[in-house]
Amino acid sequence: MDSSLTLPALNTDADLKLKVENRKKNVFVTQLEEHREQKDEHITHIPVITQGSSGLLETGVNTLQATLVLKKRVEVEQMDTQLMEKRQQVHDSMEILRERRAQLQQRQTETKQRAAEFEKFVEENELKRRRALKKFQTERQQNEQKEKQKAELCALLQDLQARRLYLKERVNKYKIFEDFLMKTLDLLPDNYLGYRAELVTAIIRRYETLSVSRQDLLQQLHRLTDQMKTSQDQLDALKHQHNTFKLTANQELSERQTQLDHTSEQNKQLEMTLRMHMSQCRDQVKEVGNILIAVRNLGEQCYLSHYGPLDGMDAATVMDMIKEFMVEKADLEKRAMRLTDSSAATAKKSTSGRIQLKSRSSGATVMKSRSSGATVMKMPQ
């Protein structure tokens, strides 16, 4: 809004003036309300304006239009001022954002550079680590190889020390013999058996011969000891085999003895069964003999001449003859029974005829005697 504009002059009407009358009775209340009820009629109340100036201007009846326009212009200027301030704030904020964006881009660039440097550093460290690991493995293999060599050398050193102690003990052991030989040589005369050096050489040669003989004897002793151990092992094996064979033989013998006892029991049972069977056979033979004798007696009683002499017949022929004789006897009995039955029937018929004739004659006599009494007798038919 243009600041050169001038405000119109306000009309000073009498109606727009605030009038306050009777100001002389302003009372400051220092008493209770109940004691001053009777004096309220002499008190003039001062009106209190609670509405703002803008409200008075808007609601006033005689407010000028120019005053309202001026008020609106003031408000518009205030709004423009606030808008300019907001624009300035937004502009400042945009500047700050641009600066922050530039700083952020710079930081991103620095971060990318640092990341690239860090990746390069990591790659270099990885290469160094691989080299160090390879070097460590190589050194480790070398250390292991050296440890093995050290262990072998320690074992060799221990063997050499043991060999040294053994040789030292042997030297100390044979020292007395050396002293004895030296004392013996000192006691011998100078011209005894030649020179002293030759004597010592002969003694040494003798000692070597005896040592070789001793070694041969020791080897022979070891060989014989080994042979004795081998023979002892063979003897133990043979004893073990003999004991095993003995146990097997005893077991087999016990089994065979058990089988023998079982067979003996079976033989005894079979003998008893055979004796019982023989006794039964004797009884059967006796019965068969009795039967044959009975058959022979029946054959003599039932002899038929067409079978020939009785002495030359066997039992089956005799039985057939007896059977035929019995069949013939049965036929004869049947025929005799038939003849007897027929004769009995004939006699019975003749007897019944006679009885009928007698009854007829007696009936006729009765009819004649009773005819007078009107009694009628019927003849039996």
Q: What is the DSSP annotation of 299-366?
A: HHHT--GGG--STT--HHHHHHHHHHHHHHHHHHHHHHHHHHHHHHHHHHHHHHHHHHHHHHHHHHHH
Residue 131 belongs to a domain: yes
In whole angstroms, what is the distance from residue 166 CA to residue 174 CA? 12
At 378, is the secondary structure helix, strand, or coil? coil
Q: 164 to each of 151, 154, 157, 159, 250, how far by Cα in Å?
A: 19, 15, 10, 8, 62
- The last residue of one of the domains, among 113, 143, 173, is 143
Q: Along the 381 residues of the chain, how does pLDDT read in single tens digits? A: 444 444 444 444 444 444 444 444 444 455 455 545 454 555 555 544 555 555 555 555 445 677 888 888 889 999 999 999 999 999 999 999 999 999 999 999 999 999 999 999 999 999 999 999 999 999 999 999 999 999 999 999 999 999 999 999 988 988 888 788 778 777 766 665 554 556 667 777 888 898 899 999 999 999 999 999 999 999 999 999 999 999 999 999 999 999 999 999 999 999 999 989 888 888 888 888 888 888 878 777 777 777 777 777 777 887 888 888 888 888 888 888 888 888 877 777 767 656 665 555 555 444 444 444 333 333 333
- Cβ count near 367 (within 10 Å): 13
How many separate domains does the chain show? 2
Instruction: Let me know the angle formed at the C-alpha of 235 by 232 and 236, rounded to the nearest 5 degrees.
Output: 85
Are 19 and 46 spatial neighbours (Cβ–Cβ below 8 Å)?
Answer: no
Residue 168 belongs to a domain: no
Parent domain of 325: 302-342
Q: 289 to each of 275, 309, 317, 358, how far by Cα in Å?
A: 21, 21, 17, 68
Residue 56 belongs to a domain: no
What's the number of CA atoms in the CB half-sphere (13 Å) around residue 359? 11
Residue 295 belongs to a domain: no
